Amino acid sequence: MVNSSAGDDPPGLEELRAWVRAELPAYAAPRQLELVEELPLLPSGKPDLERLRRR
């Protein structure tokens, strides 16, 4: 699951966890959440999933 946000005050990790618990059933909730400043991109402009996995 990927969520992006823009603005001066992006949500913190605990806020995201609370939202996930409130909005998704337990079986659909991701086990791990990680905040990244910027998605690594391939030359095509698509997210580089391999570089994300290595974080």
Answer whether residue 8 is part of any domain.
no
Per the structure, the count of domains in the chain is 1
- The token duo for 14 is 């605990």
Provide the whole-model pTM. 0.60
Answer whether residue 22 is part of any domain.
yes
pLDDT given for residue 53 in this prediction: 85
Q: Is 2 in a helix, a strand, or coil?
A: coil
Answer whether residue 5 is part of any domain.
no
Give the pLDDT confidence of 24-48 residue by residue, as tens digits.
Answer: 999 999 888 888 888 899 999 999 9
Do the Cβ atoms of 20 and 29 come closer than 8 Å?
yes
CA atoms within 13 A on the CB side of 32: 4
Strand-pair partners of 47? 41
pLDDT given for residue 3 in this prediction: 65
The residue segments making up the domain with residue 39 are 13-53
Residue 55 has pLDDT above 80, yes or no: no
